[in-house]
Amino acid sequence: MRFKTYLQLAATASVLALGSIQPAAAQNVSKKIEKIGLMVQDMSNPFFSAMTKGAEDAAKAIGATVNTQDAQLDLANQNTQIDAFIQQGVNLIVISAVDEAGIEPAILRAKEAGIIVIAVDTPAKGADAVIMTNAVQAGERSCDYLFKQMGGKGEVLLVDGTPIQTIIDRITGCKNVAKNYPDIKIVGQQASKNDRASGLAVTTDMLTANPDVTGIFGMNDPSALGAVLAVEQAGKASGIKVTGVDGSPEAVEELKREGSPFIGTATQNPAEMVRQAVKVAEAMAAGNPPAEKTMLIESVLVDRENVTQYSGW
């Protein structure tokens, strides 16, 4: 199947998830989305740049404005940003939360002010809905491919990340699949800061302690590409395979680089998450809240054989 078909199906499923009007307890929400506040975790990650592009496209399509704020992985920043959005009178906040539980009081303040709040990429307590990649599936698909390419045996490292739900789910998915491979042994797991530099650092440490490793799963592409650099610096490029999650432009280029240890990535679609968030919010503003509060977008495995078919972010 081609990737465009997967994304069309995911988008259709998200729209169909909007149900009939539920009892109005409700929020006094605006009848029109005119001002959108987008809150991203870390703009240095290309994932969130793609999310910003999706927000700008969605806002333009409905004649709205968008104000994007970078939390720099700091919960205090996100609290301040929500309060600023309340003062600015935005109609919709789309948030990729740094801390799922910690952000709840600020989200409730926004909802009390009549603002619709949609979480993307990872859950956020108190949000009206969440739109995210099927993160368990992403971890399963990336690791299943990795383990198969390792011949179903060998030692593996997990480059973990910050403890938000979507990352926890990807690691869970990887470990789920590992149960099907009795000769695969996970010998190390350390948390990066979700970026390439820390992915390099933690992988270097783990490789020193586990010199016989032949596979590495990075829970996102930046950390996986950091792991690739660690592998090459250790002179092990021919003996270790690496996979990630995201389907980022950098990962696509790495898949095309001859001799790279990087062999696959399970996709996300950050721009589509935001586009769907705006659609859900428009429906809510018209009196149609979502029937299901969590909407999952399918993850697809991109490898060296099908990378040219992948439309990317």
Taking the C-alpha atoms of residue 307 and residue 309, their distance in angstroms, rounded to an integer, is 5
Coil, strand or helix: which one is 217?
strand
Q: What is the pLDDT of residues 84-129, one digit of tens each?
A: 999 999 999 999 999 999 999 999 999 999 999 999 999 999 999 9
The full set of domain ranges for the chain reads 3-132+269-297, 135-267
What pTM, to 2 d.p., does this model score?
0.84
Q: Identify the pLDDT of residue 189.
A: 98
148 closest CA partner among 303, 41, 307, 309: 303
pLDDT in tens, 24-74: 334 455 579 999 999 999 999 889 999 999 999 999 999 999 999 999 999
What is the overall mean pLDDT for the chain? 92
* Greatest extent of the chain over all pairs of C-alpha atoms, in Å: 62
pLDDT tens digits for range 174-202: 999 999 999 999 999 999 999 999 999 99
Class of domain 3-132+269-297: alpha beta
Second CATH level (architecture) for the domain 135-267: 3-Layer(aba) Sandwich (3.40)
What's phi and psi for 182, nearest 5 deg? Answer: -60, -20
Fold match, 3-132+269-297 / 135-267: yes
